[in-house]
């Protein structure tokens, strides 16, 4: 009996490993990447700043103190002041909420619309797939920022319309990703069995195909948040996003561009906030891709 115990233990350990599931295995793989963990820490830091910061930095967001204009970083103003004497640190803290809000919700909109269109195109094929795929191709033929500018120009400059534009231009990326995943899944045996027992298409799509297609969407979504933050900042810089006096990071850069030489801190610190946030999401997205893609595993 003692000779069989190692085998029994091995079987039990294998069962435990299988019961852990792919998501837990992905989390284990993600934690092994120090770069990905650093990215997660950066993202978590800015999320905390966005949630808690505005309750700490309540004053100095839009209050103008012309006597304190363009002051360099000091013990009173840690990151200096802008051309209206406003505290740059407070405005960056409040701008974190705006930029992350635009990033998250624009990507959520892109994922929802893109997933629905991609599932329909991949599952039904034929003329439905042709029409949806050609729409995606037309949208992808335009540079994303130019398409966003065109959409905002039609809808009117505002933060809400910038969010809508960013969501629209990212729909084809998620739609094509889901479509390719559906094309590989819909021929699997369990999908054929579900059709054989008379399961309706809607249930097959949203109960079986969609859950098994989410891994690449999560990775792409993480990377897309970084892109959305950059696009929101670009639209704000061009005057097509947030309007004054909203402390959106791109708008802060636009308002400070004339003082790059005389007061460089007015642009350096908002630029660093954008760079670090985008870097954090990119590092985390790369770590998720490596952890969730079986081809990247040794």
Tens digit of pLDDT for each residue in 234-247? 998 888 888 777 88
Judged against a pLDDT cut of 50, whether residue 2 lies above it is answered with no
Judged against a pLDDT cut of 50, whether residue 250 lies above it is answered with yes
**Rounded CA separation 155/164 (Å):** 9
Chain center to CA of 278: 9
pLDDT range class, residue 7, cuts 50, 70, 90: very low
Smallest Cα–Cα separation from 277: which of 117, 84, 50, 112?
A: 50
pLDDT range class, residue 132, cuts 50, 70, 90: very high
1.10.3720.10, 3.40.720.10, 3.30.390.10, 3.40.50.300: CATH of 24-296: 1.10.3720.10
Judge contact between 43 and 281, C-beta under 8 A. yes
- Among 3-7, 40-44, 253-257, which range has the highest average pLDDT? 40-44
pLDDT of residue 272: 94
Q: Which residues pair with 87 in a beta bridge?
A: 81
pLDDT of residue 77: 85
Q: Where do we find the tokens 């966003």?
A: 148
Q: Who's near 169: CB < 8 A, 6+ residues apart? A: 139, 144, 147, 148, 151, 231
Judge contact between 217 and 111, C-beta under 8 A. yes
Judged against a pLDDT cut of 50, whether residue 139 lies above it is answered with yes
Average pLDDT across the chain, whole number? 83
Judge contact between 266 and 87, C-beta under 8 A. no
| pLDDT tens, position by position, 266-294 | 999 999 999 999 999 999 988 888 777 65
pLDDT of residue 108: 94
**Rounded CA separation 294/298 (Å):** 9
pLDDT of residue 287: 84
24 versus 75: which is more confidently predicted? 75
- pTM (predicted TM-score): 0.82
pLDDT of residue 180: 87
Judged against a pLDDT cut of 90, whether residue 52 lies above it is answered with no
pLDDT of residue 203: 77
**Rounded CA separation 256/28 (Å):** 44
- Residue 227 — φ and ψ, nearest 5°? -65, -40
Judge contact between 86 and 246, C-beta under 8 A. no
pLDDT of residue 295: 52
């Amino acid at each position: 009996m003692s000779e069989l115990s190692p085998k029994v233990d091995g079987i039990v350990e294998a069962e435990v490993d299988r019961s852990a599931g792919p998501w837990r295995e992905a989390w284990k793989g993600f934690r092994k990447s120090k770069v990905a963990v650093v990215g997660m820490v950066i993202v978590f830091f800015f999320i905390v700043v966005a949630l808690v910061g505005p309750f700490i930095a309540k004053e100095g967001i839009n209050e103008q103190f012309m006597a304190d204009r363009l002051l360099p970083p000091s013990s009173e103003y840690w990151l200096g002041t802008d051309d209206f004497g406003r505290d740059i640190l407070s405005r960056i803290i409040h701008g974190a909420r705006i930029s992350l809000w635009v990033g998250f919700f624009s990507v959520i909109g892109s994922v929802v619309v893109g997933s629905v269109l991609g599932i329909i195109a991949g599952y039904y094929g034929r003329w439905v797939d042709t029409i949806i795929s050609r729409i995606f191709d037309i949208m992808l033929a335009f540079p994303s920022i130019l398409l966003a500018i065109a959409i905002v120009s039609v809808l009117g400059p505002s933060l809400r319309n910038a969010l809508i534009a960013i969501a629209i231009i990212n729909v084809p990326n998620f739609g094509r990703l889901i479509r390719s995943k559906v094309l590989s899944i819909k021929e699997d045996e369990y999908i054929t069995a579900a059709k054989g027992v008379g399961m309706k298409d809607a249930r097959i799509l949203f109960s079986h195909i969609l859950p098994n297609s989410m891994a690449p969407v999560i990775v792409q979504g993480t990377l897309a948040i970084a892109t959305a933050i950059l696009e929101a900042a670009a639209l704000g810089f061009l005057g097509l996003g947030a309007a004054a006096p909203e402390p959106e990071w791109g708008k802060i850069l636009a308002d400070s561009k004339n003082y790059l030489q005389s007061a460089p801190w007015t642009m350096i610190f908002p630029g660093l906030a954008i760079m670090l946030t985008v870097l954090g999401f990119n590092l985390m997205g790369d770590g998720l891709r490596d952890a969730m893609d079986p081809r990247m595993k040794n």
